[in-house]
């Protein structure tokens, strides 16, 4: 996953920076809020049930998008794409941890740590001596 952003026009919503499409952003926020409702942790079965409910279009929610303000809408999202485009990238970026032994997904602060590490990498890159032509 590649994160591209304009430092002068950062959206207020982190999910807009991380996810490429509005639909991905909506589903990622839905997952985030669902996990927060479960004290930041969901087991494998609960995650699968959420993915199935999304796939079947059985989730009705309110969005904080201006065009949907105050309206309840039905959300559907392909189950495989949920895992491939939402959950897996959130795990790989450190937003969500998966505990292999307990088989649970947990919201994580590792994303913040990785972003700080990227900043440090950039600082090191700036200090490196360069050779012209390679």
Domain boundaries, the chain: 14-108
The class that CATH gives domain 14-108 is mainly alpha
Least confident of 29-38, 63-72, 74-83: 63-72
Structure confidence at residue 133 (pLDDT) = 59
Would the pLDDT of 69 be above 90? no
Structure confidence at residue 16 (pLDDT) = 92
Structure confidence at residue 134 (pLDDT) = 55
- Rounded to whole angstroms, what are the CA distances from 117 to 10, 80, 123? 20, 31, 10
Kindly state the average pLDDT of the residues 45-54: 98
DSSP for residue 95: S
Instruction: Return d(Cα 43, Cα 104) in angstroms, integer.
Output: 4
Confidence of residue 66 (pLDDT cuts 50, 70, 90): confident
Q: Which residues pair with 99 in a beta bridge?
A: 104
DSSP for residue 129: -
Confidence of residue 123 (pLDDT cuts 50, 70, 90): very high
pTM above 0.95, yes or no: no
Instruction: Return d(Cα 1, Cα 16) in angstroms, integer.
Output: 14
Would the pLDDT of 94 be above 60? yes
Kindly state the average pLDDT of the residues 94-119: 97
């Amino acid at each position: 996953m590649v994160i591209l952003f304009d430092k002068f026009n950062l959206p207020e919503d982190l999910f807009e920076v991380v996810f490429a499409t509005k639909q991905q952003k909506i589903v990622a926020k839905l997952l985030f809020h669902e996990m927060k409702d479960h004290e930041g942790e969901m087991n494998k079965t609960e995650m699968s049930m959420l993915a199935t409910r999304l796939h079947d279009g059985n989730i009705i929610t309110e969005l904080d998008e201006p065009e949907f303000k105050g309206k309840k809408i039905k959300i559907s999202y392909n189950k495989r794409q949920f895992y491939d485009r939402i959950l897996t990238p959130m795990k790989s970026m450190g937003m969500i941890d998966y505990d292999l032994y307990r088989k649970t997904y947990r919201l994580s602060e590792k994303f913040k740590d990785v972003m700080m590490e990227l900043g440090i990498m950039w600082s090191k890159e700036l200090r490196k001596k360069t050779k012209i032509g390679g």
